[in-house]
Amino acid sequence: MHTLLLFGLAGFLAQLVDGSLGMAFGVTATTTLLVAGTTPAVASAAVHLAEVGTTLASGLSHWKMRNVDWRVVGTLALPGAAGAVLGAYVLTSLATSSAELWITTILLLLGLYVLIRFAFLELGSLLTAKRPGARFLAPLGVVAGFVDASGGGGWGPVATTTLLSSGRLEPRKVVGSVDTSEFIVAIAASVGFLVALSHTDGMNYTVVAGLMIGGMLAAPLAAWLVRKLPPRILGAAAGGLIVFTNSRALLASLDAPTPVTVVVLVGIGVLWAAGLTAAIRSIRAERRMNVLAGETDPDGDPSAQPAAGATAEGPVATDATEPAGPTRSADHA
């Protein structure tokens, strides 16, 4: 019961992050399992089994909140499933020591990306009239699915951030569509791991159940928070934690001297603190810009908007003479 409750809490927090940001359940949960001593392949398999339940609940929640573009889901999910099966095969084929080094490095890089993106980079992007097509979504699905299965996480960091940066879909529908399509990817990855693993003696199904139950309980709240909670704070906090944890594990696997370990971890701590500070400052600046642009939420919370420069339906005008709308001006083409 203690294990069930502990990993239930871990699953709840991981899904709260993932459902709000469109990323980081796999990265967060896999990091937790690796710290607990689970082998890389079994950890990734357990997380993807749990994600079958959490992504189903998340997808339904986002659908009820009208955060899903079903054409994007259908085009992204099947290539993602193929990439996930390939990633599962690659991870289970690696020797344990090589797998630990690979998966820790991938998680570290993904955590660093999440921290930098949500703490220091501009989240909003002007929407274009062009919708994402199969030529764009299919390769994206394959790459994201492969990284997700072989690295113990990565579907959201790859798929969500790429779609957001393309400006071809509303931010809230990016999060909802990526989370919903992950249901198919999780099923494919789980089947791939169960077939590829020669044995599942290391699989703790109590841990899987805890992650799944906790994540399913958090899914409706996360789908609601995607409109209300400033994503910068959540992303910066989660990214910093992932970077710190996997850096420590990587240094330990490389037998780094204690002074080197201390210096690196202190440096990461400083970066993490700077990221949280930058995130808070960015939120305040974005709120001021939203108020000036007349974007204040009906409930009086300007942070409910996706980001400065983009509303739930499209961008605001960048100049008083330009009308607001989904088409970019020549300056932004």
Per-residue pLDDT reduced to its tens digit, 98-157: 766 777 787 788 778 878 877 887 655 444 456 677 888 889 899 888 888 887 777 877
Cβ–Cβ < 8 Å for 180, 51: no
State the total domains in the chain.
Answer: 1
pLDDT tens digits, residue range 30-88?
Answer: 777 777 777 777 777 888 888 888 888 878 888 887 888 888 898 999 999 999 898 88
Distance CA 70, CA 77 (A): 10
132: tokens are: 């994402």
Q: Which segments of the chain does DSSP mark as H helices, in order?
A: 2-21, 25-35, 40-64, 70-93, 96-120, 134-151, 155-166, 171-196, 205-228, 231-253, 258-292
Tokens linked to 50: 């749990």
Nearest alpha carbon to residue 181 among 16, 297, 69: 69
Q: How far is CA 95 from CA 38, 91, 154, 202, in A?
A: 14, 9, 21, 16
Query: What is the value of pTM for the model shown?
Result: 0.61
Question: What is the separation of C-alpha 237 from the centre of its chain, rounded to a whole number of angstroms?
Answer: 13
Quote the domain boundaries for residue 105.
2-332
